[in-house]
Amino acid sequence: MTAVVTGAGRGIGLALAAAFAARGMAAVGTVRGEPPAVAGVEWARLDVAQPASIAAFAAGLGGRPVEILVCNAGIYPDRREWVERGYPAAMWAETFAVNVTGVFLTVQALLANLDAANRPRVGIIASQLGSSTRAAGGSYIYRASKAAVVNLGRNLAADLGPRGIAVGIYHPGWVRTGMGGPAADLDADVAAAGLLARLEALSPATAGRFETWDGETMPF
């Protein structure tokens, strides 16, 4: 059983890859730079904002079946922007390339690997900041990208469900990582354990749901 986690060099992705390996799965973690020294994880290069990098990563997998693909890689560069003068176009483009387009292209590139697996599942790591019912203002780019990836996940669930690939969408909690900061609620390994439980429960019957790491329903 192989699980692939994008953006696994640190943060939630690293905790997820380590948790899959601890469960006895073949865990493939992707990195852009040097991989961390974590036992039991296979490391591969992947920049999800670069279509050629995605193609090379998929080619490296060959025909290997992938039971679980977690699209975790993400960026949040606009937390200190101001509506009057910030949010430059290049920041919109970069964020959507990673948080939205990168998710779609990664799933697309690994479809044959998912099709070859016994019980294929895709987990998309979104955010509660992408919930349009929780619009507190600010972080326009990150919020819009995460709202878009929730929508993407729901439509992928509709298209891929009939071929047996279940797609779930998750808010990982507020997690102590480079992105979440030191004041966040959860350790990455606690969030990862919850996300693993969600992915274990994910099936074509539950696909398309937007849930928190601990199983609560998130409003769209």
Ligand X SMILES: NC(=O)c1ccc[n+]([C@@H]2O[C@H](COP(=O)([O-])OP(=O)(O)OC[C@H]3O[C@@H](n4cnc5c(N)ncnc54)[C@H](OP(=O)(O)O)[C@@H]3O)[C@@H](O)[C@H]2O)c1
Footprint of ligand X on this chain (CB under 6 A)?
Answer: 6-7, 9-13, 32-33, 46-49, 72-76, 98, 125, 127, 171-172, 174-175, 177-180, 184
Signed CA dihedral, 77, 83, 88, 89: sign only = positive
Could you tell me the two tokens for 209?
Answer: 């749901």
CA distance 35 to 100: 24
Q: How far is the CB of 66 from ligand X (least distance, A)?
A: 17
Nearer to ligand X, 74 or 204 (CB): 74
Burial class (CB in 10 A: 0-12, 13-18, 19+), 34: exposed
To the nearest 5 percent, what fractions of the chain are helix, strand and coil? Answer: 40, 15, 45
Map tokens 């591969």 to a residue: 44
Q: How far is the CB of 31 from ligand X (least distance, A)?
A: 6
Nearer to ligand X, 162 or 182 (CB): 182
Could you tell me the two tokens for 117?
Answer: 């697996």
Considering the candidates 76, 87, 140, 142, report the single residue annotated as catalytic: 142
Q: How far is the CB of 210 from ligand X (least distance, A)?
A: 12
- Residue 142 annotated among the catalytic residues of the structure: yes
Q: How far is the CB of 175 from ligand X (least distance, A)?
A: 4
Nearer to ligand X, 173 or 204 (CB): 173
Q: In what order do the strands lie in the sheet with 166-171?
A: 41-45, 26-31, 2-5, 68-71, 121-125, 166-171, 210-212
Nearer to ligand X, 12 or 19 (CB): 12
Q: Report, as residue numbers or ranges, the catalytic residues.
A: 142
